[in-house]
A = this chain, B = another copy of it.
Amino acid sequence: MPNFLYKIETAMINSKNTLPLAIAQIEKAHDTIRPMVHRTPILTSNSLDQISGARLFFKCENFQKIGAFKIRGAVNALSNLSEEEKQRGVATHSSGNHAQAIASTAQSLGMQAWIVMPDTSPKIKKIAVEGYGAEIIESKANIESRETKLNEVVQKTGATFIHPFDNYDVIAGQATCAKELIEDTDDLDIIMAPVGGGGLLSGTALSTYYFSPNTRVIGAEPKEVDDAFRSMQLGVIQKNSSLNTIADGLKTNLGEKTFPIIKSLVEEIITVSEEEIINAMRLIWERMKIIIEPSCAVPFAAVLQQPEKFKDKKVGIILTGGNVDVEKLPF
C-alpha cells in the first residue's frame, strides 16, 4: 500500500474521520502571520551532506523574529482573538521562547500580556519579556505553583490563556514553517522536527500531509525525555520522570491536542543521547557557522545515528531557534 494511502487511512481512524485542522486553516494561518514574521531561509551544507550521507535542507528558524519559530503560533493565536478578547489581553506560562513570542506579539498588536515565569528564570529572559512591555508574574519552579499563578491572573484580568502548544491556533501557526520548507524545496523524502510538547511536530505533520503527502515525517527527541517515543509505543500520553537534558525546549510532555495528530501522521520518533545532541550541535556551529539551540540539533543527531535510514534521502530539518546563552556552552 503506498505511503500516502496508509497515512490517510491512519488519520481517518485516529481522528474520528477528520483531522482537527483543515488545509484551509493552515493556509489562512499563513496569510495571517505573513506580514509579521520572516520567511526564513533554507540552508544546505556540502560538508554536513558528506558527513551524514543524506541531502539536508535546514529551515533556519534561528533567523526568525525573537530567534525562534514560536512567533508563528503566537501571532496566529493572538490575531484570531475577538476584539473583546484582545481588549482584555492574554496570559501564558513559559520561561522560554513562547514567553518572548507572546510578549512581542502582544506589543505589536497593542494588547496587554501577563507572563508567568518561574522565579528561577535567568534575569536576561525576564528583561527581554519586560522589554516587550509584558508584565511578569513570578511562580515557584513547579507545575502547581505555575498553574495557580496563571489561574489567578486569568480570573483577575479576564485575559485569554494561550497555551504554548496545546492550542489549535498555535499548532496552525507552527504548521506554516513546514509549509514554507515544502514550498521552497522539491520532493523532500523526509521532514524532521524535534518534539517537546508537540506543537511544532503536529503542525509539521499536518502541513506535510496536506502539502507534500509523499513526504514522511519523523520526530526526534532526547533519550532523557523520551515521553513522545514512549507515547507512540503505548498509544497513550506518557510523562517524563526526569528532565535531565541540555535540550531545554524539549522537556515538556505531549498535549491532548498534539498527541493524536502526531500519532496519526508521524512515522516514527527517534531518540538520541546527550552526547549525540552536543556533537550534532557542534557540527552545525562549526560547519555551517550558524548559532542554533541544543533542541535544534536533535533531528540532525538522529540522522547521524541512523545513516542507513537517511542515505541519499532529501531530508528537510527544522532548526527551531538560536537563543542560547553564549556564556554557557556545552563545548
**A326–B67 CA distance with the chains assembled, in angstroms:** 20
Given A329-B329, A331-B326, are A285 and B291 neighbors across the interface (CB < 8 Å)?
yes
Nearest CB on B from A180, distance (A): 17
Q: For the complex, is A289 an interface residue (Cβ under 8 Å from B)?
A: yes
Given A282-B326, A326-B282, are A289 and B331 neighbors across the interface (CB < 8 Å)?
no
Given A282-B326, A329-B326, are A289 and B289 neighbors across the interface (CB < 8 Å)?
no
* Chain B residues within 8 Å of A41, by CB: 41
Q: For the complex, is A286 an interface residue (Cβ under 8 Å from B)?
A: yes
Contact string against B for A residues 280-298, beta-carbon threshold 8 Å, 1 for contact and 0 otherwise: 0010011011111000000
Q: Are B322 and A331 in contact (CB under 8 A)?
A: no
**A291–B281 CA distance with the chains assembled, in angstroms:** 13
Give me the 9 closest cross-chain CB pairs, A-B, nearest first: A289-B322, A289-B291, A62-B289, A326-B331, A327-B331, A290-B290, A285-B326, A63-B289, A285-B291
CB closest chain-B residue, reference A326: B331
Interface residues of A (CB under 8 A from B): 41, 62-63, 67, 282, 285-286, 288-292, 322, 326-327, 329, 331
Q: Are A67 and B289 in contact (CB under 8 A)?
A: yes
CB closest chain-B residue, reference A287: B67
* Chain B residues within 8 Å of A288, by CB: 63
CB closest chain-B residue, reference A46: B65
Nearest CB on B from A101, distance (A): 16
Q: Are B326 and A286 in contact (CB under 8 A)?
A: yes
* Chain B residues within 8 Å of A286, by CB: 291, 326
CB closest chain-B residue, reference A60: B289
Nearest CB on B from A313, distance (A): 24
User: Which residue of A63, A67, A289, A327 has the most chain B CB atoms within 10 A of its CB atom?
Assistant: A289
Nearest CB on B from A277, distance (A): 15
* Further contacts, 10 of them, CB under 8 A, given A62-B289, A282-B326, A289-B290: A41-B41, A67-B289, A285-B291, A285-B326, A286-B291, A286-B326, A289-B291, A289-B292, A326-B331, A329-B329
Nearest CB on B from A132, distance (A): 13
**A54–B67 CA distance with the chains assembled, in angstroms:** 22
* Chain B residues within 8 Å of A329, by CB: 326, 329
CB closest chain-B residue, reference A284: B291
CB closest chain-B residue, reference A327: B331
CB closest chain-B residue, reference A286: B326
User: Which residue of A282, A285, A291, A292 has the most chain B CB atoms within 10 A of its CB atom?
Assistant: A291
14 A-B pairs whose Cβ atoms sit less than 8 Å apart in the complex: A41-B41, A62-B289, A63-B288, A63-B289, A282-B326, A286-B291, A286-B326, A289-B290, A289-B292, A289-B322, A290-B290, A291-B291, A327-B331, A329-B329
Nearest CB on B from A55, distance (A): 18
* Chain B residues within 8 Å of A67, by CB: 289
* Chain B residues within 8 Å of A292, by CB: 289
